Structure 1
Amino acid sequence: MAKKKRLTKAIKTLTTPKQTKINPKSAGLSLGILFAVSMIFFSLWVIIFGTGQVIINLAAIFYIGYNTTITGMLLGAIYGFIDGFIAGYLLAWIYNKLG
């Protein structure tokens, strides 16, 4: 009888879904890096292909100093990292609280 209880408990443990937690710091770093690389990519795209200046102009409204120069790309990467980190951290934190 005890063996059956242990087996039942083991099966229940294996089949019961558990809520996975997301590390907010890791999520923030991941999104921060992704956003920073994206900002550099957008700038390089405009420099190389000459199209998409509208995206840079739109981003420059929110990110002071962001443009297609080296300094502007670095500023954009910093802004992108900060925004991405905050977004990733908050999303993971909210996900963990709701779960």
Structure 2
Amino acid sequence: MAVRALSGVFSGDFIGIFVTVVTAVATVAMSFFMGSDIRIPCVIESSVEEVGGLPELYFTPNFSGMPGVAVFFGLAAMVYSIAMGLRGQKSGISQ
């Protein structure tokens, strides 16, 4: 059960990091193309302002909130992998 929990945490953390990066890039791109302020609470804020006739893109990442996304996905994947292991299914060497 500990192996399932640890593998769930690691895979969930990688998924959480990937989701955070994709969300940050998508937020900045949407802000640039739409020309408006976009905010994802506790993750990133981005805005576009026009200075001298040219658009300037500003973004402010929340470095204390971003790891929270990875931790959330890690815990969710850990709970899921443990729940799937308690069903009595044999996996790995015990097959």
TM-score by length of 1: 0.55
Q: Of Structure 1 and Structure 2, which has the larger fraction of its residues in strand?
A: 2
State the percentage of identical aligned residues: 10
* RMSD after superposition: 2.4
Runs of 5+ consecutive residues of structure 1 not aligned to the other structure: 1-21
Q: Of Structure 1 and Structure 2, which has the larger fraction of its residues in helix?
A: 1
Q: Does the aligned pair in 1 maintain the 2:11–2:74 contact within 8 Å?
A: yes
CA distance in 2, matches of 1:30, 1:38: 12
Q: Determine which structure has more spread, i.e. the larger CA radius of gyration.
A: 1
Q: Does the aligned pair in 1 maintain the 2:20–2:70 contact within 8 Å?
A: no
| Alpha carbons of structure 1 residues 67 and 76: separation in structure 2 relative to 1, 3 Å | same
Runs of 4+ in 1 over 6 A off after TM superposition: none
Q: 1:95 aligns to what?
A: 84
**How big is the shift at 1:98?**
1.4
TM-score by length of 2: 0.57
* AA partner of residue 84 (structure 2): Y
Deviations, residues 23-57 of structure 1 (Å, cap 9, x unaligned): 22112211122112212221221112326x37x2x
**How big is the shift at 1:76?**
3.9
